């Protein structure tokens, strides 16, 4: 099966955009490591984080400033790169405190593995890799 089979829109993305980019636009997702979530649960929580960012963008599309709109569209058409990082309790809380309304925090409903209201993932709006905050540079990939 070829890369674009079943995904005809991939033909619209120039190879140079999908490939090597010196300063890619990335959506960062930070997982609360101490919860020791099973892999499937963690994947779903990260998916919720991505969903929250995208939904938030489109719900407020008329309020988005030109730079934010441009970055989102570039990210959307350059491979929608995402990086998942892990944080301990202290780091997770620090990120929430430092970035407040500019991030989205995934809160679990408590149906399966976690208690209702457990914060699991922090999602950041896509940004140029060179502009990521210092705390994200220090966190390890999951």
Q: How far apart are CA 33 and CA 55, in angstroms?
A: 25
Could you list the residue range(s) of the whole structural domain that residue 89 is in?
32-141
Exposed/middle/buried for residue 42 (C-beta within 10 Å: 0-12, 13-18, 19+): buried
User: Does residue 4 fall inside a structural domain?
Assistant: no
104 or 65, which is more confident = 104
At CA 124, angle to CA 72 and CA 69, rounded to 5?
20
Number of domains comprising the chain: 1
Residue 72 belongs to some domain of the structure? yes
Residue 1 — very low, low, confident or very high, per pLDDT cuts 50/70/90?
very low
Residue 86 lies in a domain: yes
Query: How many Cβ atoms sit within 10 Å of the Cβ of residue 119?
Result: 16
pLDDT at position 3 is 47
Contact 114, 37 (CB under 8 A): yes
| Domain-embedded: residue 13 | no
**Does 48 reside within a domain?**
yes
Give 5-43 pLDDT, tens digit per residue.
555 555 555 555 554 468 999 999 999 999 999 999 999
The answer to whether the beta carbons of residues 40 and 112 sit under 8 Å apart is no
Query: What burial class does residue 131 get, using C-beta atoms within 10 Å of its C-beta: 0-12 exposed, 13-18 middle, 19+ buried?
Result: exposed
pTM above 0.75, yes or no: yes
Total Cβ atoms within 10 A of residue 22: 7
Does some domain include residue 131?
A: yes
Question: Does any domain span residue 19?
Answer: no
Tell me, yes or no, whether 11 lies in a domain: no
Structure tokens at 29: 């997702």
CATH number, domain with residue 87: 3.40.1490.10
């Amino acid at each position: 099966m070829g890369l674009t089979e079943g995904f005809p829109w991939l033909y619209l993305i120039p190879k140079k955009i999908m490939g090597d980019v010196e300063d890619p636009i990335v959506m960062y997702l930070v997982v609360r490591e101490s919860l020791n979530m099973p892999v499937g649960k963690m994947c779903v929580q990260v998916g919720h984080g991505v969903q929250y960012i995208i939904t938030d963008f489109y719900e407020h599309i008329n309020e988005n400033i030109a730079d934010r709109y441009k970055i989102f569209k570039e990210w959307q058409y350059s491979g929608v790169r995402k990086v998942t990082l892990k944080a301990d309790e202290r780091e997770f809380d620090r990120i929430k405190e430092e970035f407040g309304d500019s991030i989205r925090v995934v809160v679990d409903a408590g149906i399966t593995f976690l208690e209702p209201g457990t914060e699991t993932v922090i999602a950041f709006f896509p940004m140029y890799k060179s502009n990521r905050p210092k705390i994200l540079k220090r966190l390890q990939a999951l």
